[in-house]
Chain A
Amino acid sequence: MATSFSATLPLHGSQENRLLLPPIRLAPPPSSFLGSTRSLTIPSSRRLYHAHASRRSPVVGVQEVVKEKKVTNSLLITKEEGLVLYEDMILGRSFEDMCAQMYYRGKMFGFVHLYNGQEAVSTGFIKLLTQSDSVVSTYRDHVHALSKGVSARAVMSELFGKVTGCCRGQGGSMHMFSKEHNMLGGFAFIGEGIPVATGAAFTSKYKREVLKQDCDDVTVAFFGDGTCNNGQFYECLNMAALYKLPIIFVVENNLWAIGMSHLRSTSDPEIWKKGPAFGMPGVHVDGMDVLKVREVAKEAVTRARRGEGPTLVECETYRFRGHSLADPDELRDAAEKAKYAARDPITALKKYLVENKLANEGELKTIEKKIDELVEEAVEFADASPQPGRSQLLENVFADPKGFGIGPDGRYRCEDPKFTEGTAQV
C-alpha cells in the first residue's frame, strides 16, 4: 500500500527536512507522560520520531524522500498557478485578520476559530479540486469555504448573521455550507465531518458503479490532530479503505487541541502511521510549505480519481492565533510560536516566486491590495445587509414545507388542496 511520493524542492531550504540530523538533545520517548509544555521542544522531537519511524515503517513519508538536490530547471508551478496560490493564501489571511478585528468590534459573535498560519494546507489541496468535488471541514472552516469558491461577501455576511450570508445567517461561523460549491460544512463536533465526507465519497463511487454516471468526484476531509483520537476517525479509515472510496483524509496537525498538546494526548503522535494500519498510504508533509502540500495533494487526488482508494495525509502546520478568539492562548511556548512564525507559508511562497523570477514584488503587491479591497468591500456589504426577517425563524426546518411527506403522485401532500379539505386519496 505504500506510495512513494515524488521528491519535491523544499521551499524552506534543506535544514528543516534533512534526514541526516546533527546530534540533538534526546527528547523523551512518545509514550511517557509529557508534563509542562515548557519542557517540550516539539520540532526537534518530532524530527527524531520521524528519523526512527522511517527505518521501521514501510510507508514513506515525504520528508524521507526529500534529499538535497541541486536546483533544477524544472519548477513546481507556473506563474499563473503561483499567483493563484498566492492570492488564495493572501485572501485567507486577510479575511481571518479582518474577522478578528470585527469580532473585537462586536460585529461578529459566538465562537470564531481562525485559520492564520494554516493557509498552505487549504490552498494546497483545494486549489486542485473542481467545483463538483466536495470539501468537508470542521469549525475552522472560513478559509476552506473561501478556497472552495464561496465569495468573501457571502462568508462575511454569514459571520455577521445577515440574510445575505451563504446560509442566510442560520449557520454561523462553524457551519459554512454551500451546495453550489460543494462545501458540505462546517461541523462543530470534531470528527463529525469525517463520516459525512466518507459518505460523500461513497456517493461518488455509487454514482459511478450503480447509477452508471460519469463521476470521478473526490472528497477532501479536513480535521485536526485532536480528532485523530476520536473513534469515528478510525471507523471511517476502516470503511474508506474497505470500500475503496475516493476520499483524502487531511490531518491539519497544528499540535494543539485548544490547550491540549498533541503529544500529551496521543499514545503514538505520528498520525500518518495510522493509515497503513487500515490499508491506505499515510503521508506526512510539511504543512507550512504550500508547494509540498500541493505535490502530495496532486498524487492523493489522482489516486482517488483513478479509483485506487483513500489516502491519509498528515500536514504539520501551526495556527498563529489561539484556538478561537476567546482563547487566551497561554499554554503555548513563545519560542515555538516564533519558530513557526518564521516559517509563515505566505512569506515562503512570496520568496519562492520572487527568487525563481515567477513574479516580481510589484505584482504581488497588486494582489495584496486587491485582496485588501475585496475584504473591505465584503465587510461593507455585510454591514449594509439586513438581518434575517422574523419569518425566517421557522423556515427550512424541513425540506418539505409542512412535513406531511410526498404523496403517491410524487408531489408534496400539503400542496394538494384536497389534502387540507381532508378528501385526498392517500
Chain B
Amino acid sequence: MWGILGRRAVDGGFSASSLRRMRSGLVSARSYAAGSKEMTVRDALNSAIDEEMSADPKVFVMGEEVGQYQGAYKISKGLLEKYGPERVYDTPITEAGFTGIGVGAAYAGLKPVVEFMTFNFSMQAIDHIINSAAKSNYMSAGQINVPIVFRGPNGAAAGVGAQHSQCYAAWYASVPGLKVLAPYSAEDARGLLKAAIRDPDPVVFLENELLYGESFPISEEALDSSFCLPIGKAKIEREGKDVTITTFSKMVGFALKAAEKLAEEGISAEVINLRSIRPLDRATINASVRKTSRLVTVEEGFPQHGVCAEICASVVEESFSYLDAPVERIAGADVPMPYAANLERLALPQVEDIVRAAKRACFRSK
C-alpha cells in the first residue's frame, strides 16, 4: 500500500541514508533496487495533469501564465502544445474572475484545474473558493457538486518577502466542504493530484515551490496512469517508537533529517507525512501517539490557530492518558516573513528546532 519507499522504511533498510544522498545531489540510490526511477516533483505534477487531461476531456487548466509561458513554475509545461488553447487557458490577472469562472464551469459539469501563481494570490479569490465552491454542495442539498482543483505553491520560498510567503493550510482546512491536500514527495504529488482531479469535490492542493526541483525515487506503481492515493490518509514515512513527529509538505524533509539526528542519539522518531490536511487522518496520528506517547507537530505556517494546534487538540482529546509529555508544537515565527536571509531562516522551523523539541518531549519523563 505504501509503495516501494514505504516498504523499505519498514524493513529499516533504505530510507534514511539514501534520501540524504539524494537530497545532497550526489549519487542516487539506484544500487539497492534495479530499475527504480527518480522523478522531480515538478515532473510528477506535470505528468499527473497530463494524464488526467488525456483521460477525461472535461478536465482543463486555467491560470496565469499556464499556457505560452509553460507555467510560472513550469508545472504546466508542454500542455498548451499538446492540448491546445481550448483546454489550457492563459487568463488575465483576475483571480476573483477566473476562479469564479472555474467554479461556474464546475457547477455546469466540467473539471477545472485552476492554478494560482502562489496561494497568496488566492486571497483575492477566496470568496469563490469558500462561498461558491466549498459550500455549494451543502447549500444545494447535494444537487450541485463542484469537481474543481485549486493548486499552486504555498508557504515560504526563498527571500520572497512577507506577501509571498504565507502558508494557507490552516485557513482552507478550517472550511467544511473543502478537501485540502499537501504533497511532499513525487509519489505524493502524482497520486494526490490525480485523486484531486478525479474527486467530485473542491480540492485545495498546496504544493511547495522549493520542492518542485527535488527528486524522489518513484515506484513503477506510481508511474501507472491510474495510480492515485487516498485523500484523508497520512503516510508513516519512518517508523519509530519514542516520539511521533507529524508534519506536511517541505517540513517532512526536515523532520526526516531530524529523525536521523535523533537516531544518532538513541531516540527513535516516527515521522508522519500528513498528506491530507482536511480530512485530517486523526486515526493514524492518534495510533502513533498511543504507541510512542510523545508528540511533536511541525508546520511552516503561523502558530496561532494552525494545523499543529488542531493536531494537538485532537491528540489531547483522544489520547490524553497515553501522553507522557506535553505536546510540542513547532511552527513558523509569529511575524510576517522578513526578507533578510538570516531573519528568514530564523522565522521558519529548522532541523535543529525539531530535534530540540523532540528531545524536550523525550526527557520530560523517564
Q: A211-B57, A400-B201 are in contact. Are A407 and B100 (CB under 8 A)?
A: no
* Residue pair A199, B141 in contact (C-beta under 8 Å): no
Q: Does B150 contact A (CB under 8 A)?
A: no
Shortest CB–CB separation between residue A361 and chain B, in angstroms? 41
Question: With A and B bound together, what is the CA distance between A206 and B104 in angstroms?
Answer: 13
B346 within 8 A of A: no
Q: How far is the CA of A165 from the CA of B211 in the complex (A)?
A: 48
Cα A95 to Cα B157 with chains together (Å): 56
B128 / chain A contacts, CB cutoff of 8 Å:
192, 195-196
Contacts of A201 in B (CB 8 A): 104
Could you say which residues of chain A place their CB within 8 Å of the CB of B191? Answer: 426
Residues of chain A lying within 8 A (CB to CB) of residue B176: 397
Report the bound CA distance from A196 to B233 in whole Å. 32
**Prevailing SS type, chain A contact patch:** loop
Which of the 9-residue segments B73-81, B89-97, B244-252, B302-310 touches chain A?
B89-97
* CB contact under 8 A between A236 and B101, given known A196-B132, A210-B57: yes
| Chain A neighbourhood of B127, CB < 8 A | 189, 192
Which of chain B's residues have a CB closer than 8 A to the CB of A179? 140, 143-144
Cα A355 to Cα B142 in complex, Å, equals 48
Inter-subunit contact B195/A199 (CB<8 Å)? no
Question: Taking the complex as formed, is B190 at the interface, i.e. its CB lies under 8 A from any CB of chain A?
Answer: no
**Residue on A nearest B134 in the bound complex, by CB:** A397
Asked whether A406 and B198 contact (CB < 8 A) given A167-B140, A177-B140, the answer is yes
Residues of B within 8 A of A408 (CB): 224, 226-228
Q: Report how many A-B pairs have Cβ atoms within 8 Å.
A: 198
A184 CA to B100 CA, complexed, in Å = 13
Report Cα–Cα, A120/B281, bound state, in Å: 53
A residues less than 8 Å from B233 (CB atoms): 404
Question: With the chains together, A396 CA to B101 CA distance in Å?
Answer: 23
* Cα distance, A180 to B229, chains bound together (Å): 33
Q: Is B260 positioned at the interface, with any CB of A under 8 Å from its CB? A: no
Which residue of the partner chain A has the closest CB to B84? Answer: A210
Q: Assess the B108–A396 pair: CB atoms within 8 A.
A: no
Within 8 A of B (CB), among A220-266: 231-232, 235-236, 238-239, 242
Q: Which residues of chain B have C-beta atoms less than 8 A from A413's C-beta?
A: 230-231
B102 on the A face (CB < 8 A)? yes
Question: Measured between alpha carbons, how far is A177 from B191 in the docked complex, in Å?
Answer: 33
The distance in angstroms between the C-alpha atoms of A329 and B282, with both chains bound, is 51
B-chain residues with CB within 8 Å of residue A238 when the two chains form the complex:
92, 94, 97
Q: Closest chain A residue to B100 by CB distance?
A: A195
Inter-chain contacts of A196 with B (CB < 8 A): 100-101, 103-104, 107, 128, 132
In whole angstroms, how far apart are the Cα atoms of A107 and B141 in the complex?
A: 21
- Say if the beta carbon of B106 comes within 8 Å of chain A: yes
Smallest Cβ-Cβ distance to A424: which chain B residue = B1
Measured CA separation A403–B181 after assembly (Å): 12
* B165 at the A interface (CB under 8 A): no
State whether the Cβ of A272 lies closer than 8 Å to any Cβ in chain B. no
- Contact, CB under 8 Å: A399 / B142: yes
Specify which chain B residues have a CB less than 8 angstroms from the CB of A168 in the assembled complex: 141
- Across the interface, which residues of B come within 8 angstroms of A232, CB to CB? 96-97, 100
Listed by A's residue number, 30 A-B pairs whose Cβ atoms lie within 8 Å are A169-B141, A170-B141, A171-B139, A171-B141, A177-B140, A177-B141, A179-B140, A185-B136, A189-B131, A192-B127, A192-B131, A196-B103, A196-B128, A199-B104, A202-B101, A202-B104, A206-B110, A238-B92, A239-B98, A396-B138, A396-B142, A398-B177, A398-B200, A399-B147, A400-B200, A403-B179, A405-B198, A405-B232, A406-B195, A426-B230
A positions within 8 Å CB-CB of B: 134, 136, 167-171, 175, 177-180, 184-189, 192, 194-204, 206, 209-211, 231-232, 235-236, 238-239, 242, 395-400, 402-410, 413, 419, 422-426
